[in-house]
């Protein structure tokens, strides 16, 4: 079936579903495959649960006229998303980077939605499946789309750009994330810059941090760029006032008090201000959007319990984000500081060195107590307390009387350190 014909069918439905547990009446089911499942086997179940059509790529599962056979379900999903994006012909803002993508995306969306009907990436659905699903969640009422793009190897951002065809783009930063897939920091810079390359090739607008030397060098000489800086050398001057613990920003004679902690969130807020101003959103509306945004999903959340004040930043971690989180925590004007750090994943050959660097940094910052959790941290040389598994951490917490502390919890998603909250109560 041609993509145009499939798109006409899609327009008659209530949207795309790839999981039969989320089937709603009159949806279009795509039978995607994973390492441990074959979506084709669920096609008939999807129809029974209310889907109007199912798309499969194995002929033996085409058992009714409402089951559409294609060559490859994932390829077809991506082609359909690309066709739909062209059909809508709306501004798409794409962003990528090593750290802060999701928070930045949510801030941009919060600001833009003050004036426009927006659709943004849900959660962190930012890969070769998530980006198409985001595009296909937009309709004729959508005025601006905000699309987050993640990557752990070269050519991935390029591929996502060829689906989304963004009109605008922003890179949060270049850090030590997914070093295993990118082959080192230079690979990270090259991979993330695929967004720049796509936009430059088509003369589209790039938003950038003018205080980031890598970004300014990459964009030197490019005309269609809009920058922010703490200095008076670019389009928008945005200043960090304080971050103890919440980030306060000064812009256009207005102070903006966020619910985000850490100086590292300054640039995430600043780009939301920049993009909002670019799209003619009044400063007061921008201020309202940012001041009412509250982080969720284990990202820089502040949790006040009976015993502790906890910064839960356990959604993910890499050497760059871990370093700034520790340095920021050390600078907070509080006493009784405890850090619980979990292993950082996808570092490849750099894992041993990067975990040692973080262990040494944490030791030098002289926190009251540092707990290092995971096989990589367990191999480090440090005076801090090392615990090989999460269960070891749980046992330590339950056997030691930790009272009235300020606690930072940070680790990679696979460590799921938020599970320790119950033991800390």
**142-185: pLDDT as tens digits:** 999 999 999 888 999 999 999 999 999 999 999 877 887 788 88
Q: Which residue has the tokens 């984000």?
A: 321
Percent of the chain scoring above 70 in pLDDT: 100
Q: What percent of the chain has pLDDT over 90?
A: 83
Question: Residue 94: is its pLDDT beyond 80?
Answer: yes
Identify the pLDDT of residue 256: 98
pLDDT for res 178 = 82
Q: Which CATH number fits domain 90-291: 3.40.720.10, 3.30.420.310, 3.40.1190.10, 3.30.420.250?
A: 3.40.1190.10
177-195 per-position pLDDT tens digit = 788 778 888 998 999 999 9
Work out the pLDDT band at 287, boundaries 50, 70, 90: very high
pLDDT confidence of residue 388: 97
Q: What pLDDT is stored for residue 39 in this prediction? A: 94
Residue 297 has pLDDT above 80, yes or no: no
Range 42-49 average pLDDT = 96
Q: What is the pLDDT of residue 135?
A: 98
pTM confidence score: 0.89
Judged against a pLDDT cut of 80, whether residue 296 lies above it is answered with no
Give the mean pLDDT of 117-133.
94
For the cut 80, the answer to whether the pLDDT of residue 298 exceeds it is: no
Which has the higher per-residue pLDDT, 335 or 141? 141
- Angle in degrees, CA 384, 387, 389, rounded to 5: 155
Query: Whole-number mean pLDDT of the chain?
Result: 94
Work out the average pLDDT over 391-396: 96
Within the chain, which residue ranges are assigned CATH 3.40.1390.10? 3-70
- Asked if residue 103 has pLDDT above 80, the reply is yes
**Average pLDDT rounded to a whole number, residues 222-244:** 94
What is the mean pLDDT of the segment spanning 88-109? 95
pLDDT at 304 over 90: no
- List pLDDT tens digits, range 308-367: 999 999 988 999 999 999 999 998 888 899 999 999 999 999 999 999 999 999 999 999
- Whole-number pLDDT of residue 319: 93
Q: What is the pLDDT of residues 188-231, one digit of tens each?
A: 899 999 999 999 999 999 999 999 999 999 999 999 999 999 99
Residue ranges, comma separated, of all CATH 3.90.190.20 domains in the chain are 301-424
Q: Domain 3-70's class? A: alpha beta
- CA–CA dist 130, 366 (Å, integer): 41
Instruction: Tell me the pLDDT band of 293, cut-offs 50, 70 and 90.
Output: very high
> Which residue ranges does the chain devote to CATH 3.40.1190.10?
90-291
**Whole-number pLDDT of residue 36:** 87
C-alpha closest to that of 175 among 21, 316, 332: 316
CATH architecture of the region 301-424: Alpha-Beta Complex (3.90)
């Amino acid at each position: 079936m041609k993509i145009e014909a499939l798109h006409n069918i899609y327009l008659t439905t209530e949207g795309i579903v790839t999981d039969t547990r989320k089937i709603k009446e009159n949806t279009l089911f795509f039978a995607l495959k994973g390492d441990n499942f074959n979506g084709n086997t669920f096609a008939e179940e999807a129809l029974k649960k209310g889907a109007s059509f199912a798309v499969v790529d194995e002929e033996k599962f085409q058992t009714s006229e409402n089951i559409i056979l294609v060559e490859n379900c994932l390829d077809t999903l991506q082609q359909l998303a690309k066709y739909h994006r062209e059909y809508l012909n709306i501004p798409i803002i794409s962003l990528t980077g090593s750290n802060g993508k999701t928070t930045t995306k949510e801030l941009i969306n919060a600001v833009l939605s003050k004036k426009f009907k927006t659709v943004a990436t849900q959660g962190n659905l930012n890969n070769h499946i998530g980006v198409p699903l985001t595009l296909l969640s937009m309709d004729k009422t959508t005025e601006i789309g905000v699309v987050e793009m993640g990557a752990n190897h070269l050519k991935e951002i390029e591929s996502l750009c060829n689906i989304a065809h963004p009109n605008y783009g922003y890179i949060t930063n270049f850090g030590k994330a997914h070093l295993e897939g990118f082959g080192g920091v230079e690979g990270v810079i090259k991979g993330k810059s695929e967004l720049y390359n796509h936009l430059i090739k088509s003369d589209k607008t790039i938003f950038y941090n003018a205080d980031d030397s890598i970004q300014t060098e990459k964009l030197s000489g490019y005309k269609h760029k809009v920058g922010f800086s703490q200095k008076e050398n670019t389009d928008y001057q945005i200043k960090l006032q304080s971050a103890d613990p919440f980030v306060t920003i000064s812009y256009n004679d207005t102070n903006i008090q966020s619910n985000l902690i850490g100086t590292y969130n300054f640039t995430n807020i600043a780009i939301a201000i920049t993009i909002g101003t670019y799209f003619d959103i009044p400063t007061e509306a921008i201020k309202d959007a940012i001041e009412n945004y509250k982080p969720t999903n284990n990202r820089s959340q502040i949790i006040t319990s009976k015993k502790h004040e906890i910064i839960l930043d356990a959604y993910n971690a890499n050497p760059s984000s871990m370093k700034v989180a520790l340095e920021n925590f050390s600078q907070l004007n509080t006493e009784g500081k405890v850090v619980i750090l979990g292993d950082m994943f996808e570092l490849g050959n750099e894992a041993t060195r990067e975990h040692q660097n973080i262990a040494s940094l944490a030791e030098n910052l002289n926190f009251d107590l540092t707990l290092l959790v995971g096989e990589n941290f367990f191999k480090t040389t440090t005076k801090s307390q090392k615990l090989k598994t999460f269960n070891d951490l749980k046992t330590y917490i339950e056997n030691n009387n930790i009272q009235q502390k300020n606690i930072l919890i940070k680790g990679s998603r696979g460590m799921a350190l938020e599970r320790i909250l119950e033991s800390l109560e």
